[in-house]
Amino acid sequence: DAGITQSPRHKVTETGTPVTLRCHQTENHRYMYWYRQDPGHGLRLIHYSYGVKDTDKGEVSDGYSVSRSKTEDFLLTLESATSSQTSVYFCAISESGAGGPGEQYFGPGTRLTVT
């Protein structure tokens, strides 16, 4: 299995509080992604990174920000959590980029509940 960890694995927080999720990889892959997964929806891309300090928005980026100061770490921040951000968050990594991503490897996910 690819070396990807996410922390925390579970979190309950209150509306309006900031929350930061961490993704850490030991594979030295260039590309990293944050997705959310909700019932009835496919995985939806929040933000992605194609290198240190290089990030871009995905399909559902409103209310989220990211940072990547090191190859191995990709942080997702919910600036002011809302109940609509209750979800399962997955981090993924991949090697390819130009011409389209190939296989993506996923972390175990973070279950976030906003009350």
Contacts to other proteins by CB under 8 A: 31, 33, 35, 40-45, 48, 50, 56, 58, 90, 94, 97-104, 106-109
Q: Are 55 and 49 in contact (CB under 8 A)?
A: yes
Closest approach of other proteins to the CB of residue 66, in Å: 14
Q: How many other CB atoms are found less than 10 A from the CB of residue 41? A: 10
Closest approach of other proteins to the CB of residue 41, in Å: 6
Q: Toward other proteins, which CB reaches closer, 31 or 114?
A: 31
Q: Toward other proteins, which CB reaches closer, 9 or 80?
A: 9
- Tokens 């389209």 correspond to 100
Q: Toward other proteins, which CB reaches closer, 18 or 102?
A: 102
Question: Could you tell me the two tokens for 32?
Answer: 């990293």
CA–CA gap between residue 104 and residue 100 (Å, rounded): 11
